[in-house]
Amino acid sequence: MKRTILAAVSTAALLSSSAAYAGPEAEVLHWWTSGGEAKSVAVLQQEFADNGGTWTDMPVAGGGGDAAMTALRARVLSGNAPTAVQLKGPAIQEWYEEGVLADISAVAEAEGWADVLPASIAGHMKCEDIWCAAPVNVHRVDWIWANAQVLADNDIDMPTTWDEFNAAAQKLQAAGVIPLAHGGQAWQDATVFETVVLGLGGPDFYQQALVDLDPAALTSDTMVQVFDQMRTLRGFVDPNFSGRDWNLATAMVMNGEAAFQIMGDWAKGEFLAAGKTPGQDFLCASTPGDGFLYNVDSFAMFAVDGDDKQAGQQLLAKLIVGPSFQKVFNLNKGSIPARVDVALDEFDQCAHLSAKEMTSSSEGGSLLPSYAHGMALRGAQSGAITDVVTAHFNSDMSSADAVQMLADAVANSY
């Protein structure tokens, strides 16, 4: 489809022509509906209103965003795209290729985004040579969360290897505690899977298997071991996990019903929203192994008609990457700012650990995009992998059969 990219209009020009329109407007499609997430998006709504904007909220429940993407496609196909949409990774470029994204380069250049965003993150926000999305944060995916009291009561330390995790889980199971809080949804299965790939195979193997889709890596003995560990983890999950939302699994850790959860640091937002203190009520650590899997939330601006909506896009983009919102939002959300110049003085110990390890991983070449959260692969390839992971997790399929199915699914996804 021929690109119909919206011409960039400077924020100053738009906001000075108030006589021509009622003011900046934005209809925002997102999937931030849980406690910590809803509190976070409310921060942006308030800042938008404080700057004269009118916000129309379009939340679509579903932690992985699948339902939101279905709603988005219906809106775009009907010729009625939202003003701004929570979108990330290769999906941004896919929508750009359909000719429906707006150019927000005027804001990016006026605000100096290139100087305050890490190059790898800035790369996700660009479509060819234009800025087409605004980053909100950096989430780390490969976290393990624990109930501090449950571990203390059972004389268990935070595991640093998968063997240690398995031993701790067996001990907890014998004590009548659910070792692993998990929700039986495809994206949650994929989240656990990619942390195991990184932990058992290492950063280079992760890159080969889940970014490059190297057939040799996908069919390797290491991948067999990954599925073996996934089968072991399945044994540590309670029988009522099917269909459980991720934040309900987090609540199981909060209330001591379960000991651990493997989930990105949006889980920390739930703990904090419930008044829990890191290091005291709950513990955080990277999942066993080296590396850092990132998931960057961002908003893409869709081509829309009307000065009001275009002004809304420009204002929204400016606020999203502004230092004030980056700080306040990420304090609520559990993530760390996408900007590198935001002081972390008010952030908790988990955020400091995340920022420190993001820097060291970046320097060491082990800062890697999350496949499970749409940062590494396009939809067809990502979906093919997740289908196999979920099929294996919810059946008695052997690891060898899963590896062969994985290689075939990826090969057939192009």
Residue 5 has pLDDT above 50, yes or no: no
42 pLDDT more than 70: yes
Residues 277 and 326 in one domain: no
Yes or no: say if 287 and 144 are a contact pair by the CB < 8 Å rule.
Answer: yes
Within a domain: 2: no
Beta strand 258-262 with 143-147 is antiparallel
Both 60 and 116 in one domain: the answer is yes
Single-letter residue type at 7: A
Same domain, 309 and 328: yes
CA 402 to chain centre: 26
Residues in a beta bridge with 286: 143
- Provide the domain count of the chain: 2
**Scanning the structure block, which residue is given the tokens 């001990």?**
171
Percentage of the chain modeled with pLDDT above 70: 94
Q: Mean pLDDT over residues 137-147, rounded?
A: 97
With beta carbons less than 8 A apart as the criterion, state whether 186 and 373 touch: no
Same domain? 157 vs 265: yes
In Å, how far are 21, 245, 300, 310, 314 from 106, measured between CA atoms? 20, 39, 14, 12, 8
Confidence of residue 7 (pLDDT cuts 50, 70, 90): very low
Residue of 90 and 37 predicted with greater confidence: 90
Same domain, 276 and 340: no
Question: pLDDT (tens digit, 9 = 90+) per residue, 269-321?
Answer: 899 989 999 999 999 999 999 999 999 999 999 999 999 999 999 999 999 99
279 and 387 in a single domain? The answer is: yes
pLDDT of res. 197: 98
Regarding whether 384 and 252 lie in a shared domain, the answer is yes
Q: Hey, is 218 helix, strand or coil? A: helix
d(CA 372, CA 190): 5
With tokens 């709504």, the residue in question is 45
**What is residue 176's three-state secondary structure?**
coil
Q: Give a yes or no: residue 220 inside a domain.
A: yes
Residue 285, phi then psi, degrees to nearest 5: -160, 155
Q: Nearest Cα to 225, choosing from 191, 198, 252?
A: 198
Encoded tokens for 370: 């999350």
* Mean pLDDT of the region 218-224: 98
Q: The domain that contains 94 carries what CATH number?
A: 3.40.190.10
Domain membership flag for residue 3: no
Looking at the structure, tell me whether residues 200 and 161 fall in a common domain.
yes
Please report the pLDDT score of residue 269 as a whole number: 87
Residue 142's CB: how many other CB atoms inside 10 A?
30
- Residue 202 belongs to some domain of the structure: yes
Per-residue pLDDT band for 63 (boundaries 50, 70, 90) equals low
Residue 153, pLDDT above cutoff 90 = yes
Position 32 pLDDT exceeds 90: no
Identify the domain containing residue 305 by its residue range.
11-139+296-350
Is residue 21's pLDDT more than 60? no
Percentage with pLDDT > 90 across the chain = 82
- Cα-only R_g, the chain: 21
Alpha carbon distance 187, 68 (integer Å): 14
Which residues lie across from 195 on neighbouring strands? none
Structure confidence at residue 10 as a pLDDT band (50, 70, 90): very low
Whole-number Å distance between alpha carbons of 241 and 230: 15
The residue assigned the tokens 């234009």 is: 130
Pick the last residue of a domain from 350, 368, 391: 350
Q: Is residue 49 part of a domain?
A: yes
Order of strands across the sheet with 137-140?
Answer: 336-337, 137-140, 292-295, 367-369
The reply to whether 97 and 145 lie within a common domain is no
Residue 1 lies in a domain: no
* 352: pLDDT strictly greater than 90: yes
Contact 182, 195 (CB under 8 A): no
For residues 159-174, average pLDDT? 98
The answer to whether residues 275 and 155 belong to one domain is yes
Q: What is the pLDDT of residue 64?
A: 66
Cα angle 156-368-166, degrees, rounded to a multiple of 5: 25
pTM confidence score: 0.83
> Is position 38 within any domain?
yes
pLDDT tens digits, one per residue of 75-107: 999 999 999 999 989 999 999 999 999 999 999
Can you tell me which residue has the tokens 């809803």?
38
Q: How far is CA 5 from CA 99, 139, 323, in A?
A: 6, 29, 28
Contact 292, 139 (CB under 8 A): no
Q: Which of 110, 55, 100 minimizes the C-alpha distance to 308?
A: 55
Q: In what order do the strands lie in the sheet with 298-301?
A: 54-59, 25-30, 84-86, 298-301, 133-135
The distance in angstroms from the start CA to the end CA of the chain is 20
Helix, strand, coil percent values for the chain (each to nearest 5)? 50, 15, 35
Yes or no: say if 211 and 372 are a contact pair by the CB < 8 Å rule.
no
More confident: 412 or 63: 412
Judge whether 302 lies within some domain: yes
pLDDT digits (tens, 9 = 90+) for 354-407: 999 988 888 888 989 999 999 999 989 999 999 999 999 999 999 999 999 999
Q: Distance (Å, rounded) from C-alpha 31 to C-alpha 369?
A: 20
Which single residue is written with the structure tokens 């979906």?
383
Q: Residue 262 above 90 pLDDT?
A: yes
Same domain assignment for residues 264 and 185: yes
Residue 36 has pLDDT above 80, yes or no: no
- Of 350, 373, 390, which one is at a domain's C-terminal end? 350
> How many Cα atoms occupy the beta-carbon half-sphere of 96 within 13 Å?
22
Please determine, for residue 214, whether its predicted confidence score (pLDDT) is greater than 70.
yes
Q: Using the 3D structure, point to which of 350, 372, 391 is the last residue of a domain.
A: 350
Q: Does residue 62 sit in the same domain as residue 92?
A: yes
